[in-house]
Amino acid sequence: MDDMILEGNTLDFNNALTREWILSNGLGGYASSTILNCHTRKYHGLFVANLKNLQGRYVLLSKVEDSLIIDEKESNLSLHRYPLIFYPETTAELVRVTVNTCVDFMFRIDTAIVHKTVVFCRGENVLLLKYRISKAKSPHTLRIKPLIAYRGIHELSHENDYIYRNIDITKVGFSIAPYGDMPALIFACSRPVKIQDGSCWYRNFEYPEEKKRGYAFQEDLFMPAAIECTLRPDESFILCTSLSAKEDIEKMWKKESPTYSRKNLFVQKHITTAGKMMTRLSHAAELFIINEKESMPSVIAGYHWFYIWGRDTLISLPGLTFYRGRIKEGILILHAISHLRKGGLIPNFVKEEVREIAYNSIDASLWYFWCLQELLKVTENPTLMRQFIPVMTEIIRCYMEGISCVFEHNDESGLISITNPSTQMTWMDASVNGMPVTPRFGCPVEINALWFNAVSFFKELSGKLNLEICLDLNAEIEKIKKNFMKYFWCSREQCLADTCDPAAKSQDSSVRPNQILAVSLPYSPLGKKEAELVMKKVKRELLTPFGLRTLSPKDSRYRGIYEGSPEQRDSAYHQGTVWPWLLAHYGEGLLKTAENKEKAENELRDIFSAMEGHFYEAGIGYISEIFDGDYPHRPRGCIAQAWSLAELIRLWKILASRISH
């Protein structure tokens, strides 16, 4: 990946405070903060470990208070937010931030240049902080004060009397085990240091992003000891933080250290070449694939607060793996998620803290078929599908029989309907005070488009592989195709209704993006004319540079800004908020229906120009979960979302394949 360099106006205080970096160790752990090294979320932390024995991710080392002392003058390299103030007031001048496989901060202190580099080692629970000084006139004293939290990522730490304050001094540093049921944190230094054992609590850190989101936002952090060493010009110092004392610091550093190109990509971001774009997207994809030790690989849906979601995994998988040549890894993840199924249902999500599995998704199992179609498209190897036949057969049988209190299959129409009006079984699942914000009781349009696609694919695959399937798939396909237009077509809006109720002969005519799947999926129940009308409607009322709105602005329920309390945000989540993951399906639909293919391709390339700028805001190098429906479409939600990025990769590959042909 090419360096992503931020300098100039992007380092202005207010800009820098909204730009966040994140590194992953590939085990589910991460390191993250703002480019000012000032935490604005409870989810920020330098050493966040995925602790298998305790089940869940824990902020162990929240941050460090690091500074350089020159001629008795102290200049700080990090910043804290306390009530009403930022502290300390005296900080070194931040000149440049370079984001790659690690994050490098360049500071200026008088004539001296200081580099602070953060590395979170792949495949290890090891954090490296490297400090290097150049152009200094005299030796400097480096002082580092680790601030530990030792709490779950969704929680906050508070001063208490039962923390074990004692540290164990080692030959190269010290270790501390603050709580009996949690692992010790080991600090090892690359050169002789002075350990100052003066433990204390730092009180009332504030996280403004949590305050804005309506959550508790203050915590206390514990400082077990301070580390001091003398650095002469051009000398380096490495602080290694780990859960194991066996790490070779210099070896780890050499393994992880990248070579920087020093090109100012912030200035040149709009002229990035095609190859660089795909390289950047592919590098970013690594954040979401985790290989927990002794477990099969899986996909984290988003950072910082999402974990493993079935629907998100299946929608993300083609872009994260298949289209990046990671076929075997993608197949392993497919098997892993299918092993969690229950009665034909692939789970909606897996809770990380208790590994509780929720089966409240009506569409995750249907996305499984689409995911296999993408695998087949990339590999062109039908025999690969044989290993998935038992899962597909079980899902088809399950959907044809229906599941009580979840969904039912209408034998006459062939359509799938949600049976409980108080539940949210689709991806539009936000609720306020226990009530759905977007009630989708009845037959949701994308569920039935996915159902038609799944049955059609399974029928074709059965023929290719000469399988004997004791199901009348031909009759099912004919029923769905006949009744899809009959019940979903909305003459008034000249597009598809979002839901319908065949028994009551009623429709929800809300203009939403779910209808796009009836055009984009490999098997469509629509005719050419209807598909074109759907695309025109979606383009006219839902398309933005960053994705599709979830509701037309013409609707009185439209919410164009996503902010405020949890209730306010949930009320806007699918009522106008823009979702980037829908762009690939929009692109496929556009290319299917556009008369002028070249014009359509150019339109889709413009999307990448907009996204190129977004790489430098919110999560540096990643795509946000959502954006405001209203201009200027500010990024919201998670700073890095798996399906947002994965579907951009897939759209890029779709366009690239058209050029090659």
pLDDT at 473 over 60: yes
The pLDDT of residue 272: 43
Predicted local distance difference test score (pLDDT) of residue 72: 81
pLDDT of residue 264: 32
- The pLDDT assigned to 435 comes to 87
Give the Cβ contact number of residue 410 at 10 Å: 15
Q: Does residue 194 have a pLDDT over 70? A: yes
Mutual angle of helices 445-464 and 473-488, in 10-degree steps: 160
pLDDT score for 472: 84
Give the per-residue pLDDT at 370: 98
Q: Chain-wide mean pLDDT for the chain? A: 91
Strand locations in 170-279 (E): 173-176, 185-189, 194-196, 200-206, 218-223, 226-231, 236-242
| Residue 149 confidence (pLDDT) above 90 | yes
pLDDT of 292-343, one tens digit each? 766 789 999 999 999 999 999 999 999 999 999 999 999 999 999 999 999 8
pLDDT in tens, 403-437: 877 889 999 999 999 988 878 899 999 989 888 99
Q: What are 329's two structure tokens? A: 């890894």
Q: Is the pLDDT of residue 381 over 60?
A: yes
Residue 222 has pLDDT above 90, yes or no: yes
Instruction: Examine the pLDDT at 99 and tell me if it is beyond 90.
Output: yes
> Among 107, 105, 85, which residue's Cα sits nearest to residue 34?
105
- Residue 355's pLDDT is 65
Residue 660 pLDDT class (50, 70, 90 cuts): low
Looking at domain 4-244, which of 3.20.20, 2.70.98, 1.10.540, 2.40.160 is its CATH number?
2.70.98
Report the predicted TM-score, pTM, of the whole model to 2 decimal places.
0.93
Closest CA to 584 of 554, 616, 611: 611
Report pLDDT for 266: 30
Asked if residue 567 lies in contact with residue 433, where contact means CB atoms within 8 angstroms, the answer is: yes
In this predicted model, what pLDDT tens digit does every residue of 230-263 receive, in sequence order?
998 889 999 999 998 654 455 554 554 443 333 3
Compute the 3-state secondary structure of the chain and give helix, strand, coil in percent, each to the nearest 5.
30, 30, 40
List pLDDT tens digits, range 40-71: 999 999 999 999 888 889 999 999 999 999 88
Give the strand pairing for 226-231 and 140-152.
antiparallel
Same CATH topology for 4-244 and 270-660?
Answer: no
What digits encode the pLDDT tens for the residues 263-296? 332 333 333 445 678 888 999 999 999 987 667 8
Measured CA to CA, the distance from residue 540 to residue 49 in angstroms comes to 45
Contact 5, 263 (CB under 8 A): yes
**What are the boundaries of each domain within the chain?**
4-244, 270-660
Give which of 349, 300, 351, 412 is closest to 646, Cα–Cα. Answer: 300
Q: Is 161 exposed, middle or buried (0-12, 13-18, 19+ CB in 10 A)?
A: exposed
Reported as a pLDDT band with limits 50, 70 and 90, residue 468 is confident
Listed residue (614, 613, 661) closest to 636, CA to CA? 614
Terminal Cα distance for the chain, rounded? 27
Q: Which long-range contacts (CB under 8 A, 24 or more apart) does 80-86 make?
A: 80/38, 80/39, 80/202, 80/205, 81/38, 81/39, 81/40, 81/205, 81/206, 81/207, 81/208, 82/204, 82/205, 82/206, 83/204, 83/206, 83/218, 86/38
- Rounded-to-integer distance, Cα 311 and Cα 323, Å: 18
User: Contact, 366 vs 447, CB < 8 A?
Assistant: yes
Give the helix/strand (H/E) hosting 132. Answer: strand 126-134
Provide mean pLDDT across the span 121-150: 93
State pLDDT tens for residues 492-549.
999 999 999 998 889 999 999 999 999 999 999 999 999 999 999 999 999 999 999 9
Share of the chain above pLDDT 70, in %: 94
Specify the fold of 270-660.
Glycosyltransferase (1.50.10)
What are the backbone angles phi and psi of residue 631, rounded to the nearest 5°? -60, 140
Parallel/antiparallel/unpaired status of strands 435-436 and 495-496: unpaired
Which residues face 506 on adjacent strands? 501
Share of the chain above pLDDT 90, in %: 77
Q: Which residue has the tokens 């690969």?
A: 384
Structure tokens of 463? Answer: 């023929």
**How are beta strands 635-636 and 236-242 bridged, if at all?**
unpaired
